[in-house]
Amino acid sequence: MIRASIVGGSGYTGGELLRLLHFHPNVEIAQITSREHAGRYVYIVHPNMRNISRLQFVHPDALEPCDVLFLCLPHGQTASQIDRFASLASYIIDLSADFRLDDPASYERWYGHAHPAPEWLPRFVYGLPERNREQLRRAHYASGVGCNATIVNLALYPLIQAQLLDRAYAELKVGSSEGGARATHASHHPVRSGAVRTYRPVGHRHLAEVQMMLGEDAPMHFSVTAIEMVRGIHLLAHVELIEPQTSRDLWRLYREHYNNEPFIRLVNSCMGLHRYPEPRIVAGTNYCDIGFELDADGRHAIIIAAIDNLSKGAAGSAVQCMNLMLSFDESAGLSFSGIYP
Q: Which residues are catalytic?
A: 147
Dihedral angle computed from the Cα positions of residues 142, 143, 148 and 151, in that order, rounded to the nearest 10 degrees:
-10
User: H or E stretch including 265?
Assistant: strand 264-266
Is 62 buried (19+), middle (13-18) or exposed (0-12) by CB count in 10 A?
exposed
- Name 271's bridge partners: none
Q: How many helices (H) and strands (E) does the chain have?
A: 11, 13
- The three-state secondary structure class of 120 is helix
Closest CA to 295 of 251, 252, 255, 239: 239
Max CA separation in the chain (angstroms): 63
Pairwise CA distance, residues 232 & 224, whole Å:
12
Residue 165: name the closest of 217, 108, 107 by CA: 217
Residue type, position 98, single letter: D
> What length is written for the chain?
341
Q: Which CA distances in Å does 180 have to 127, 163, 325, 326?
A: 20, 36, 27, 29
Residue 313 carries which DSSP code? I
